[in-house]
Amino acid sequence: MSGNGEGPGKKPDTRIVQAGRRKEWTAGIVNPPVWRASTILFDNIAAMRAADHAGDGVLDYGRFGTPTQWSLAEALTELEPGAAGTRLFSSGVAAISVALLSVLKPGDELLIVDSAYGPTRRFCQKILARQGIRITYYDPLIGSGIEQLIGENTRAILLESPGSLTFEVQDIPAICAVAKARGITTLLDNSWATPIFFPAIAAGVDLTILACTKYIAGHSDLMLGSVTAAPDHWDALSETSLALGQYVGPDDAWLAARGLRTLGVRLRQHQASALQIASWLAEQPQVGRVLHPAFPNCPGHEFWARDFSGSSGLFSFELKGGDDAARSRLIEGLTNFGIGYSWGGFESLVLPVDPNRGRTVAKREQEGPMVRLNIGLEDPDDLIADLERGLASYKS
Ligand X SMILES: *Cc1c(COP(=O)(O)O)cnc(C)c1O
- Which residues make up the interface to ligand X (CB under 6 A)? 91-93, 117, 160, 164, 189, 191, 211, 213-214, 223, 225, 342
Identify which of residues 189 and 386 has a Cβ nearer to ligand X in the complex.
189
Alpha helix positions (H), 151-230: 172-181, 194-197
Based on CB atoms, which residue is closest to ligand X, 224 or 287?
Answer: 224
Nearest distance in Å: CB 241, ligand X: 16
Give the count of beta carbons closer than 10 Å to the beta carbon of residue 275.
Answer: 19
Torsion angles phi and psi, residue 103, rounded to 5: -115, -35
- Judge whether 290 and 281 are in contact, CB under 8 Å: yes
Catalytically annotated residue among 36, 63, 180, 306: 63
Residue 206 a catalytic site member: no
What gap in Å lies between CA 133 and CA 131, rounded to an integer?
6
Residue 117 is a catalytic residue:
yes
Shortest spacing between CB 187 and ligand X, in angstroms? 12
Strand partners, 228: 86, 208
Residue 212 beta carbon to ligand X: minimum distance, rounded to whole angstroms: 7
Distance, in Å, from the CA atom of 229 to the CA atom of 201, rounded to the nearest integer, reads 8
- Closest to ligand X by CB, 92 vs 140, is 92
Tell me whether residue 221 is one of the annotated catalytic residues: no
Catalytic option among 117, 137, 138, 215 = 117
Nearest residue (CB) to ligand X, 216 versus 326: 216
- Phi-psi region for residue 107, left (φ > 0), alpha (ψ -120 to 50) or beta? left
Q: Which of 15, 87, 214, 261 is catalytic?
A: 214
With left for phi above 0 and alpha for psi between -120 and 50, is residue 194 left, alpha or beta? left
Residue 223 or residue 326: which is nearer to ligand X going by CB? 223
Minimum distance of ligand X from residue 26's CB (angstroms): 26
87 is known as an active-site residue: no
Compute the least distance from the CB of residue 25 to ligand X, in Å. Answer: 25
What three-state secondary structure class fits 115? Answer: coil
Q: What is the largest CA-CA distance in the chain?
A: 75
List active site positions: 63, 117, 189, 214
